[in-house]
Structure 1
Amino acid sequence: MFDSIIEFFESVSPIWGALIATTFTWLVTALGAAVVFFFKTMKRSVLDGMLGFTGGVMVAASFWSLLSPAIEMSEGEGFVKVLPSAIGFALGALFLFALDKYMPHLHINFKESESEGVETNLHKTTLLILAITLHNIPEGLAVGVLFGGVAAGIPEASIAGAVILAIGIGIQNFPEGIAVSMPLRRHGVSRRKSFFYGQLSAIVEPVAGVIGALAVTFFTPILPYALAFAAGAMIFVVVEEVVPETQRDKYTDIATLGFMGGFLVMMTLDVALG
């Protein structure tokens, strides 16, 4: 089945491939958000475990799918070889740092008084959506950049690697969709609105994916920087948002095990299928 998927993506333009792959990750988020139609509440332990899983996938993807290829495709030796990845990683982290400081948002398990970014009168629902949108920008960008590398003919960038990353991100987007819709439902938002807002948080992924693919296609030399940029942004999200959200209650052990499980799943996918 995996071979058939690869054959399909090889038959279409890498730009279209980026759009299709990131649309898939968005739809998986919507599938997770749809759980709200069947349950009104979900145990906090389950939510924390799923968020931990999300963090584990993001960290593993940052290395195996992004940083490692970025270093391999860089020329030179020693510090010269790692410099593009180091610069890109730092820029990605700084980009998310700036968004975190200026975009008003609220972490999933935090009180409304603990919202971050500039002061605003936005409703709590909107702040929650903006927080998850922050998660999804680097995820869509990462998939798009890999497809862009294929379009540019970079040997280290492969359709298989891009598809594996999309599958991994899709897997972790399912619990992410639940993690948005269920708290909204718990706060009295209707099922339909909870689902709508839950899936809406990932609509940015196809947009970021196409932008990433186009940027690398037209400016091939930036590929190692772009891969590392996406990795830096993802790591920042994990450390700044995902991990703190899982450490607010008594289920920290479950969240940690979820993180390890997510890391293991993504590592296995990347190494075994890549």
Structure 2
Amino acid sequence: MEAIIDYFQQIDPVLAALYATLFTWGLTALGAGLVFFVKGTSRALMDGMLGFTGGVMVAASFWSLLAPGIEMSPGEGFEKVIPAAVGFLLGALFIFGLDKVLPHLHLNFDKSEAEGIETGWRRTTLLTLAITLHNIPEGLAVGVLFGGVAAGFDGASIGGAVALALGIGLQNFPEGFAVAVPLRRYGLSRRKSFMYGQASAIVEPIAGVLGAWAVLTFQPILPYALAFAAGAMIFVVVEEVIPETQQDKYTDIATMGFIGGFIIMMTLDVGLG
């Protein structure tokens, strides 16, 4: 792990963000690739994996984004927390706007419950877009943190950025599986199910590079940008991930998955950051 951190310290931060988010995308593809070997899965396992995803996202929002953002903000008392509060709200509003516009369908919901602008798109496309919506703030968070390290801000570290990428990647693996298997169940071929599953994370490298570039270009925005990514992720967890796990009788399994994801992400961030 030390060798990986040393390597990222020596390369261009935008390139580092690209490599890190390609890694998270790759783990999504790896998870989606299980559709070639697995015929199906239980609802309990799916809910547990979604809970794990939510736990990682919530832990990352605080330990990797909000806490460093507050630490590097100027001033004292209420003044010090203003950038985090403003950025957090803007991030939530950003995903709120996308949620209202982008046609998508949550896992475990009927097609009649699709959100966003009404379209005649197939259920499979709507499901993929729902997971894509999850991945936008994840890629952005990784990119922003790498940009902050390069800009020399206190509270931002290569170890923390690597820990965040690793945590996001770990939860992307079950996420890729969780979208590919239902697509297979809805009648797509294994190859198409895999392609849709991995494609849901293609936005992560794009968002990561844009996040790193924005912070390096406009350095004063970093505390706001970190909180922006956190607000976006918390909105996704509360509005999408958690409701998806509450549609059946396995809510306790989903909750324990959430706890496990939170512990793993917290441990990674504190241990490496």
Determine if the TM-score, normalized by the shorter chain, exceeds 0.5: yes
Alpha-carbon distance between aligned partners in 1 of 2:7 and 2:216, rounded to the nearest angstrom: 20
Indicate the residue corresponding to 1:214 in structure 2: 213
Indicate the residue corresponding to 2:184 in structure 1: 185
Indicate the residue corresponding to 1:129 in structure 2: 128
Query: Displacement, 1:234?
Result: 0.1
1:141-170 per-position Cα deviation (integer Å, ceiling 9, x unaligned)? 000001111221213211111110000000
1:197 aligns with 2:225: no
Indicate the residue corresponding to 1:250 in structure 2: 249
Supply the AA of the counterpart residue of 2:23. Answer: F
Contact 1:15 1:151 (8 Å CA) reproduced? no
Indicate the residue corresponding to 2:40 in structure 1: 41
Alpha-carbon distance between aligned partners in 2 of 1:157 and 1:117, rounded to the nearest angstrom: 36
1:140 aligns with 2:139: yes
Indicate the residue corresponding to 1:264 in structure 2: 263
Q: How does 1:143-162 map to 2 (within 5 A)?
A: 143-162=142-161
Alpha-carbon distance between aligned partners in 2 of 1:38 and 1:133, rounded to the nearest angstrom: 24
Contact 2:71 2:154 (8 Å CA) reproduced? no
1:172 aligns with 2:174: no
Contact 1:139 1:234 (8 Å CA) reproduced? yes
Q: Report runs of 4+ in structure 1 exceeding 2 Å deviation.
A: none
Secondary structure of 1:40's aligned partner: coil
Give the TM-score normalised by the residue count of structure 1. Answer: 0.99
1:15-72 per-position Cα deviation (integer Å, ceiling 9, x unaligned)? 1000000000000000000010001211010000000000000000000000000000
Supply the AA of the counterpart residue of 2:4. Answer: I
Structure 2 unaligned runs (5+)? none
Q: How does 1:12-51 map to 2 (within 5 A)?
A: 12-51=11-50
Identity percentage of aligned residues: 73
Alpha-carbon distance between aligned partners in 1 of 2:74 and 2:179, rounded to the nearest angstrom: 42
Indicate the residue corresponding to 2:109 in structure 1: 110
Give the TM-score normalised by the residue count of structure 2. Answer: 0.99
Contact 2:141 2:208 (8 Å CA) reproduced? yes
Secondary structure of 1:128's aligned partner: helix
Alpha-carbon distance between aligned partners in 2 of 1:109 and 1:6, rounded to the nearest angstrom: 39
Give the alignment's Cα RMSD to 1 decimal: 0.6
1:87-110 per-position Cα deviation (integer Å, ceiling 9, x unaligned)? 000000000000001111000111
Alpha-carbon distance between aligned partners in 2 of 1:64 and 1:174, rounded to the nearest angstrom: 21
Contact 1:105 1:117 (8 Å CA) reproduced? yes
